[in-house]
Amino acid sequence: MKKKIGFILAALFVGLYFSQAQTQAATEKITYSVKTKLPASQSDAAKSYFDLKLAPGQKETLTLYLTNHSEQEIKLHIEPNTAVTNKNGVFDYSFSKTKDQLDKSLRFSFRDLVTGPKDVTLKGKETKEVSYELTLPKESFDGILLGGFYISQKDEEKAEPKQMIVNKKAYAIAVSIRETDKKITSELKLNEVKPALENYRTIVTANLQNPQPELIKQMKVVAKIMKAGDTQVLHQTERDQLGMVPNSNFDFPISWDNQPLEQGEYTLDLTVTSANGDWHFSKNFTIAGKEAKQLNQTAVDLPKEDNRLLLLCGILSGIILLLVVGFIWREKQRRK
């Protein structure tokens, strides 16, 4: 009994040691920090990000304080990006997309309205004040224009080239801009539904679009897929605590439960509840045979087809063919 207790205590001590070591290593990775200098146009001083109330055509200076906590020189890359909704239903400021790559309902791209340095070098223990000029379009807009600064360390990947996965510390500083207090009626659209792969696993994606300049918060999505004309649910995915940034879209993934995609006509039944409102969609879609075959061949963890029956049928067909050919040849010889 004493040996068992000693073993358990030793295991706990070892686990605690490695946990502390990992925490310390993670802390040591944080070599820099970012803070904002809030301008006079800030709507809410309690918020640490930029929450601005501006006028059409107005210019505003957005300032960041960048601090290097390490002894070594570091290089930071700063991207002013338009906010998007990623595939997990999360607000994302890390994508450097041009206006053509963003949602078609977006009138103005935050990225196109900001000028300033993209790369900043910090000496050991140095803090720099870096400013960016935001110039709004002269044309007025209602609702929210949302973007952000995405700050990452440029030389982190070079520090550990042998690692396959490098944990990169990055900061995202949101910039929310309003010109008017007009209330926006939320809207949600269901666009294309199609088969796809996610992490090499079979899925069907339903593209959801928020075409209005307003956030959609606390979304719960329930998606069911049936054969067209049938009520039996073949595949179902439920997710909650999702959100969508203004004027954005994303592909909501519906798991195919590690099964091969099959050619046919299907119906998607999709329900969304949120803090902004509720929506229900029903849409028919087709999975083509060629498309399903290509995706299934690339997918992993699919049940392997049993080809023994096909092989046996092929062998029997070959034997029968040989017998028929032999019979015909023998009849011709007999007639001669």
Same domain, 41 and 140: yes
| pLDDT class of 321 with cuts at 50, 70, 90 | confident
6: in domain = no
For residue 83, what is the domain's CATH number? Answer: 2.60.40.10
Asked if 171 and 197 sit in the same domain, the reply is no
Shared-domain flag, residues 196 and 163: no
Quote the CA–CA distance of 154 and 119 in Å, as a whole number: 9
**173 and 34 assigned to the same domain:** yes
174 and 193 in one domain?
A: no
Number of domains in the chain: 2
Among left, alpha and beta (phi > 0; psi -120 to 50; other), residue 218 is left
Is residue 329 one of the residues assigned to a domain? no
pLDDT of residue 323: 75
Same domain, 54 and 79: yes
Could you tell me the pTM of the whole model?
0.79
pLDDT tens for 235-279 read 999 999 999 999 999 999 999 999 999 999 999 999 999 999 999
DSSP 185: P
Q: Quick count: other Cβ atoms within 10 Å of Cβ 73?
A: 12
DSSP secondary-structure letter at 12?
Answer: H
Tokens of 161: 């080239």
Residue that terminates a domain, selected from 178, 198, 226: 178
Are 62 and 121 in the same domain? yes
Could you tell me what percent of the chain has a pLDDT over 90?
A: 73
Q: What is the pLDDT of residue 162?
A: 46
Both 46 and 146 in one domain: the answer is yes
Range of the domain at 215: 189-298
Asked whether residue 268 is domain-assigned, the answer is yes
Three-state DSSP class for 66? Answer: strand
The answer on 170 and 50 residing in a single domain is: yes
Give the type of residue at 22. Answer: Q
pLDDT tens per residue, range 100-136: 889 999 999 999 999 999 999 999 999 999 999 999 9
Same domain, 164 and 194: no
Give domain status of residue 50, yes or no. yes
